[in-house]
Amino acid sequence: MDPTTLIGPSSPLGYPAPYWFLITFKVLGFTLHMVPMHIWYAGVLLAMLLQWRGGEVGRQLSRRLMRPMPILIALGINFGIVPLLFTQVAYYKVFYPATILMAWPWVSIIVLLTLAYYGVYIYVAGLRTEGATIARWRQAVGWVTAAFFLLIGFFFSNAFSLMTNVRAWPDLWLRKSIGGAPLGTALNTEDPTLWPRWLMMFSLALTTTAVFIIVDAEWFAPQERPNYRAAARRAALMISTIGVIGFATTGSWYVFGTWPAELRESMFRGPLRALTGLTAISPGIPWLLILWQWRKGGTRARAVATAVAQVLVLAFNAISRQIVQNAELGQFLDVTVEPVRLQWSPLILFLLLFAIGLGVVAWMLRRLKAIRTSESG
Q: Which of residues 322-361 bind another protein (CB under 8 A)?
A: 341, 343, 345-347, 349-350, 353-354, 356-357, 360-361
Q: Which is nearer to another protein, 121 or 292 (CB)?
A: 121
55, 56, 110, 132: which one binds another protein (CB under 8 A): 110
Near another protein in 181-200, by CB under 8 A: 181-184
Longest dimension (CA), the chain: 72
- List, as one string, the DSSP characters of 91-132: SHHHHHHHHHHTHHHHHHHHHHHHHHHHHHHHHHHHHHHHTT
According to the binding rule CB under 8 A, does residue 173 interact with another protein?
Answer: yes
According to the binding rule CB under 8 A, does residue 175 interact with another protein?
Answer: no
Report the nearest approach of another protein to the CB of residue 89 (Å): 5
CB 291 within 8 A of CB 237: yes
According to the binding rule CB under 8 A, does residue 89 interact with another protein?
Answer: yes
Q: Which is nearer to another protein, 7 or 230 (CB)?
A: 7
Report the nearest approach of another protein to the CB of residue 8 (Å): 3
Backbone angles phi, psi at 178, to 5 degrees: -125, 125
Task: Map residues 48-87 to x or -, x wherever contact with another protein holds by CB under 8 A.
Answer: ----------------------xx--xx-xxxxxx-xxx-
According to the binding rule CB under 8 A, does residue 257 interact with another protein?
Answer: no
Q: Where are the alpha helices (DSSP H) in the chain?
A: 19-53, 55-66, 69-90, 92-101, 103-130, 136-164, 169-175, 194-219, 226-257, 261-267, 270-281, 284-296, 300-330, 344-376
Choose the binding region for another protein from 98-106, 218-226, 281-289, 298-306 (rule: CB under 8 A): 98-106
18, 52, 55, 114: which one binds another protein (CB under 8 A): 114
Rounded Cα–Cα distance for residues 353 and 203 (Å) = 35
Bridge partners of residue 15, in order along the sequence: 340
132, 135, 281, 371: which one binds another protein (CB under 8 A): 371
Rounded Cα–Cα distance for residues 238 and 251 (Å) = 19
According to the binding rule CB under 8 A, does residue 46 interact with another protein?
Answer: no
Choose the binding region for another protein from 146-154, 168-176, 228-236, 318-326 (rule: CB under 8 A): 168-176
With CB under 8 A, what is the number of residues at the site for another protein?
75
Strand duo 181-182 + 177-178: pairing: antiparallel
Bridge partners of residue 181, in order along the sequence: 178
Q: Is 355 exposed, middle or buried (0-12, 13-18, 19+ CB in 10 A)?
A: exposed
Report the nearest approach of another protein to the CB of residue 301 (Å): 25
Q: Which is nearer to another protein, 43 or 97 (CB)?
A: 97
CA triplet 155, 121, 35: central angle to 5 degrees?
A: 50
Bridge partners of residue 177, in order along the sequence: 182
According to the binding rule CB under 8 A, does residue 143 interact with another protein?
Answer: no
CB 109 within 8 A of CB 155: yes
49, 113, 230, 275: which one binds another protein (CB under 8 A): 113
Near another protein in 3-32, by CB under 8 A: 5-9, 11-17, 25
